[in-house]
Amino acid sequence: MKNKSILVVLTLLAVFLPQFMEAQCAMCRAVLESEADTSAAEGINNGIVYLMAVPYILVAGLFYFIYRKMRT
């Protein structure tokens, strides 16, 4: 039970605090850290996080649709 609650808390933190997530690949990170403009790095990092989230949202929607169809 304790492990499950820790997992839920960590998942919620990751979802609601994406600015603390590091989602850049090594190459992108090296190039962006060498530049003085940090807004570009933040923009790329946010873009990667959003691109990563879209498939999960689509799959969740699909499972919800299947659940609704199976229930009726």
Residue 23 in contact with residue 52, Cβ under 8 Å?
Answer: yes
Q: Is the pTM of this model over 0.85?
A: no
Q: Encode pLDDT of 7-39 as tens digits.
A: 888 888 777 776 666 555 667 667 777 777 777
C-alpha neighbours within 13 Å on the C-beta side of residue 35: 10
**C-alpha distance across the termini of the chain, in Å:** 32
Instruction: Quote the pLDDT of residue 42.
Output: 77
Higher pLDDT, 54 or 30: 54
What mean pLDDT value characterizes the chain? 78
